[in-house]
Structure 1
Amino acid sequence: MTVLLLAVHLTAVAVVVPLLLRRAGWVVRAPRIAIAVWFGLFVSSLGGALLLGCEVTEAVFGRGLWECCLSFLGSAGSSRIEDIPVAVGTVLAFAVPARVCAVVLGELLRLRRGQRRHAEALDLLGRPMQVFGGRAVTVDHECPAAYCVAARGGGRVVLTTAALRTLPQAELSAVVAHERAHLRGHHYVLTTAAASLARAFPRVPLFAAAGPAVARLAEMAADDAAARVARRQTVARGLALLAAARAGRGDMGVTVLNASADHVAERINRLLDLAQEDERRSVATGAGWFVGLVLAPASVLVATVMLWC
C-alpha cells in the first residue's frame, strides 16, 4: 500500500502538477511564491523517489532495508552474501537524488567560474559609473543590453553604450534596479539549478519544464522589485525600449540574466495590468498551492519513514 501511495504521489508531482502549474494564472502575479512551489516540488519528488526505491527494495527482499545495509557493511565478506542484493537496491534508491545533486552542483560550479572570469574581464575593460545611487559598469557595444554578472563585491550590473543612448534616465534607473534585484535574489543560482535538472533527467516532465518556468518567473520577480523603486509604467517603458532597440541586432552571446530577455511582451502587459488586489489574492492562492502540493505530501512521506522505525 505504501509503494502504491508513493507511486501515485510521484506521478502527480512529476507529471500532473507541472502541467497545472504552468497553466495557473496566479503564478504571474506571485512569481516568488511560484518559484518556491517549483523548488518545493523538486524536493518532494526527489524525496519520494528515494523512499519509493527503499520501499520497493524492502518489499522485494522482504527484510528491513536499513538493518540489512548496516548488517552488510558490518559483516565479514561472504558470511553476509545474501545482503548484497539489498545493498545494491539501496545504491539504486539513492542514485536519482545523487545524480541530481551531482549535475546541479557541477552546473553551479561551472557558472561560478564563468561569471568570475566575466567579472574579471569587466574590471579590465569596463568603465565604472554611478546609476540610481549605486555602481554599474559600461562597455562599448552596439547591442543595447543591460545584464548582471554575479561576482564578489555584490556582483556587476553591466550596461552597454548603446543601452545608455537608448534609455532615458528614469527608464535607465528602472532597468538597473531590475538587474540589482536579480543579484539580491540570487536568481542566477535558481535558474541554473532548475535548468540543470533537465540535463539530469530530460524525460521527466517536472524537470524538463522547470528551467524555462523558473527563468520566466525570475524575470517577473525582478520586474516587481524594480517597480517598488520606480513606477510600473517606467519599468515597462524601459523593457520596451531595450527590446525595440535590440530587434534585428545580434546577440551579445553571454549567459547571464538580461533585462530584455524572453517573454518581454508578456512582462510589459503584466506590469501595466497588475492590480494590488489581484496580487494579494494570487499570493494567497500560491501559498495554498505550496501547502497543498508540498507540505501535505511531505507529511505523508515523513509518516512513511516513521512506519519503518
Structure 2
Amino acid sequence: MSVLLLAALAVILAWPVPVLLGRARWVRRAPAAAMVLWQSVALAGGLSLIGFPLLWGLAPFGDTVLDAAPAFITALADGSWIPRLEQDPWLPTRIAAATLALALFAHLVLTLAVTAVKTVANRRRHRQMVELLAAPPSERSRLAERTAGTPTRVLPHDVPLAYCLPGLTGSLTVLSRGLLEQLSAGEVAAVVTHERAHLRQRHDLLRLAFEAWHRAVAWLPTTSTAQGAVAGLTEMMADDSALAAHGRDDLIRAIVLTGEAGTLPPGRGEAPPTANIQGDGAVPLTLRLYRLLSPSAPLPAAARLAVVLAALCLAAFPLWLLLWP
C-alpha cells in the first residue's frame, strides 16, 4: 500500500499540482506562504520519486527502509540474495529498482553540489569584474550603501540598473550611474531596499535549489514551471519588503524606469550587463506592475497558516510512508 501511495504521490506532484499551483492567483496575496508550499511540493515530489522504487525494491529485506537497507547491502555483498530467488522471482527486478532509486538520489545530490559550486565560482568572477569597473564612490552611492546595509558599487552605465551579488563571506549591492542620476532619492531607496530583501531573505538559495532540481530532471517539464514560479515569488516578497518601508509610487516608478523584471544575476562570469540579468528567465514586468497597481488584500492569517501547515504535512507524508511499516 505504501508503494502505491508513494507512486501516486510522485505522479500527482510531478504534473497536476505544479501546473495548478503555477496558475493560482492567491499566491500573489501570500507569496511567503506560497514559497513554503512550493518547497514542500519539490521535497515531497523528490522523496516520492525516489521512495516508491526504493520501497518496492527493499520489501523482501525488511518492513521499513531503515531496517531493509542494511540487509539489502549485506545480501548483495555476500550473495545471500541468490537463494531468495526461489521464493521471489521478481528479486532481480527489485534489486534493479532499489539501485535505480539510490542512483537517482546520488544524481540529485551531485547536481545540487555542482550547481552550487559553479554558482559560487561565477559570482566570484562577476564580483571581481564589478570591482574593476566600479566608479569612485559619491555622496548618493554612500547614501545607497547606508540604506542597503551592505557594500555598494556603482557601475559607469547610463542605463538604470540594480542587482545584488550574494556571497559566502559578504554580499554586494550593485547600482548603475544611470540609476542614481535618473531616479529620485525615494525611488533609489525603494530599489535598494528591494535588493536588500533579496540578500536578507536569501532568495539566491531558494532559486539555487529549484535550478538544481530543474537541471537534474530536465525531462520533467513542470520543473521549469516551478523554477519560474519561485523566481516570481522572490520578486513579490522583495517588493513587499520595499513597500513596508517606502511609498508604492516610488517603487512603481523605479520598476518602470529600470525596466527590470528581476534582480538576481545569473553568475556566468560575463561582464556586468546593462539590462535585466535574470539567468533563469525574466519574471514578467507586467506581473509585478499589475500586482502593485491593483493591490489585493493580503490572504488572512488563518489561511496563510493553513497553507503552511498543509505544506508541512505534505513534506512529512512521504517520510512517514518510508519510515513506518
Normalising by structure 1, report the TM-score: 0.83
Is 1:194–2:210 an aligned residue pair? Answer: yes
Q: Distance in 1 between matches of 2:174 and 2:110?
A: 31
Structure 1 pair 305/25, CA: closer, same or farther in 2 (3 Å)? same
Residue identity over aligned pairs, in percent, reads: 28
Cα deviation for residue 294 of structure 1 reads: 4.6
Aligned partner (choices 274, 284, 287) of residue 252 of structure 1: 274
**Structure 1: runs of 5 or more not aligned:** 245-249
Find the aligned partners of 1:74 and 1:18 in 2 and give their Cα distance.
Answer: 39
Q: Which of 303, 307, 313 pairs up with 1:285?
A: 303
Residues of 2 paired with 1:76 and 1:175: CA distance? 59
Report the equivalent of 1:148. 164
The whole-number CA distance in structure 1 between the counterparts of 2:188 and 2:228 is 26
2:16: which partner in 1?
16
Q: Comparing 121-130 with 229-238, which one deviates more in the overlay? A: 121-130
Deviates more, 1:293-302 or 1:105-114: 293-302
More moved, 217-226 vs 113-122? 113-122
Q: Structure 1 residue 116: deviation in Å?
A: 1.5
Task: Quote how far apart the aligned CAs of 1:160 are.
Answer: 1.1
Number of the residue aligned with 2:118 = 110
Contact conserved, 1:146 with 1:175, CA < 8 A, in 2?
A: yes
Q: Which residue of 2 aligns with 1:271?
A: 292
Are the structure 2 counterparts of residues 24 and 67 from structure 1 closer, same or farther at C-alpha, using a change threshold of 3 Å? closer
* 1:295 maps onto 2:317 in alignment: no
Partner of 1:247: none
Matched with 2:263 is: none
CA distance in 1, matches of 2:295, 2:78: 68
Which one has a larger percent helix, Structure 1 or Structure 2? 1
Query: 1:295, CA displacement in angstroms?
Result: 0.8
Q: Deviations over 1:273-296 (max 9, x none)?
A: 224xx2142x54344334335514
- Shift in Å, 1:143: 2.8
Which residue in 1 is equivalent to 2:100?
92
* Aligned-partner residue type, residue 90 of structure 1: A
Distance in structure 1 (CA, Å) of the matches to 2:126 and 2:276: 9
Q: Deviations over 1:70-107 (max 9, x none)?
A: 34544695542527945543321223332222212211
Runs of 5+ in structure 2 lacking a partner?
85-90, 261-271
Q: Deviations over 1:182-239 (max 9, x none)?
A: 1111112211221222211123244231111111111111111111110122111110
C-alpha separation in 2, matches of 1:151 and 1:256? 17
Amino acid at match of 2:316: A
- Answer yes or no: is the 8 Å Cα contact 1:146–1:163 preserved in 2: yes
Q: Deviations over 1:36-74 (max 9, x none)?
A: 111111111111123211232145xx4436656534544
Tell me the C-alpha RMSD between the 2 structures: 2.9
- In structure 1, what is the equivalent of residue 196 of structure 2? 180
Matched, 1:29 2:47: no
Residues 54-65 of structure 1 correspond to what in structure 2 (within 5 A)?
Answer: 54-58=54-58, 62-64=60-62
Equivalent position of 1:234 in the other structure: 250
| Amino acid in the other structure paired with 1:156 | L
Identify the residue that residue 212 of structure 1 maps to in structure 2. Answer: 228
Q: Which amino acid aligns with 1:130?
A: R
How far is the alpha carbon of 1:152 from its aligned partner? Answer: 4.9
Q: CA separation of 1:39/1:236 partners in 2, compared to 1, >3 Å: closer, same or farther?
A: same
| Alpha carbons of structure 1 residues 91 and 131: separation in structure 2 relative to 1, 3 Å | farther
Q: Deviations over 1:214-272 (max 9, x none)?
A: 1111111111111111012211111011119xxxxx953785689xx532222122123
Q: 1:252 to 1:95 in 2, by over 3 A?
A: farther
Residue type at the aligned position of 2:97: G
By how many angstroms is 1:35 displaced? Answer: 1.3
The one-letter code of the counterpart of 2:306 is: G
3-state secondary structure, aligned to 2:245: coil
1:2 is matched by which residue type in structure 2?
S
The alpha-carbon deviation at position 110 of structure 1 amounts to 0.9
Moved more, 232-241 or 65-74: 65-74
Q: Which stretch has the larger CA shift, 157-166 or 68-77?
A: 68-77
Q: Is the 8 A contact 2:57 2:96 kept in 1?
A: no
Matches within 5 A, 1:66-85: 69-71=69-71, 73-74=73-74, 79-82=79-82, 85=92
Partner in structure 1 of residue 87 of structure 2? none
The AA in structure 2 aligned to 1:264 is L
Shift of residue 177, structure 1, vs aligned partner: 0.8
Distance 1:220 1:257 in 2: 18
Query: CA–CA distance in 2 between the matches of 1:159 and 1:302?
Result: 48
Alignment size in residue pairs:
295
